[in-house]
A and B are shown apart, each in its own frame.
Chain A
Amino acid sequence: QVQLVQSGAEVKKPGASVKLSCKASGYTFTNYYMHWVRQAPGQGLEWMGIIKPSGGTTNYAQKFQGRLTMTRDTSTSTVYVELSSLRSEDTAIYYCARDLFVEGRRYFDYWGQGTLVTVSS
């Protein structure tokens, strides 16, 4: 069965960087794009970006351009997201989500369990 297992909670100071992982299993890793989505306390879901595991191509939300990097390791079926220059507003739960692309349509069909990132001095 499809599983996305994310790394554990992180506590970071303002200005630092954080790198989270999402390990996929139960399907062919390179056949599906992967997204990162976050939810800050009391806020809604926010799409951050997408990565194509087969070639590493990425597309980031405009808001995160310049401080967001998504990478992947096909040997371990893992995608990573790194966010730099952290500020308190980056405190959130971060989710990876698999992209299902069928007949020109896309949706997020499987999600990781979420990783809490706390940014605090």
Chain B
Amino acid sequence: DIQMTQSPSPLSASVGDRVTITCQASQDISSYLNWYQHKPGKAPKLLIYDASNLETGVPSRFSGSGSGTDFSLTISGLQPEDIATYYCQHYNDLVFTFGPGTKVDIK
């Protein structure tokens, strides 16, 4: 089975900071990697699909990159409403795996 790891966790940053979360797969997963944002009391929300494609309606300060085993999610200018836990997700055939999550808060 493919394992997903994320770092750092947690992550504390100031408003306006550029924040990068990394996700690593235990083997090559091409670009089969999505990113979700999850706020307490709400349903998770898709941010990035196929490693680097921004979902419609998601602010452009969010971006994703990577392929193979190493991926990153960047927030260019952290906003108070970005406080959440961020998960990477891989899938292979019809088996899906979430990373452990990175909790982001404001310093």
List residues of chain A with CB under 8 Å of any chain B CB. 33, 35, 37, 39, 44-47, 50, 59, 61-62, 95, 97, 105-109, 111-114
- Pick from A62, A111, A114 the residue with the most CB of B within 10 Å: A111
User: Is B46 touching A108 in the complex (CB atoms < 8 A)?
Assistant: yes
Please give, as numbers and ranges, the residues of chain A lying within 8 Å of B100 by CB-CB distance: 44
User: Is A45 touching B36 in the complex (CB atoms < 8 A)?
Assistant: yes
Interface size on B, residues (CB 8 A): 24
Chain B 84-96: CB-based contact to A (< 8 A → 1; otherwise 0) = 0101010100111
Decide: A111 near B96, CB < 8 A? Known: A45-B36, A105-B49, A106-B91.
Answer: no
In the complex, the number of residue pairs spanning A and B with C-beta atoms less than 8 Å apart equals 55
List residues of chain B with CB under 8 Å of any chain A CB. 1, 32, 34, 36, 38, 43-46, 49-50, 55, 85, 87, 89, 91, 94-101
User: Is B46 touching A47 in the complex (CB atoms < 8 A)?
Assistant: no
Cα-based distance from A39 to B87 in the complex (angstroms): 12
- Pick from B32, B43, B50, B100 the residue with the most CB of A within 10 Å: B43
Please give, as numbers and ranges, the residues of chain A lying within 8 Å of B36 by CB-CB distance: 45, 108
Decide: A114 near B94, CB < 8 A? Known: A44-B85, A107-B49.
Answer: no
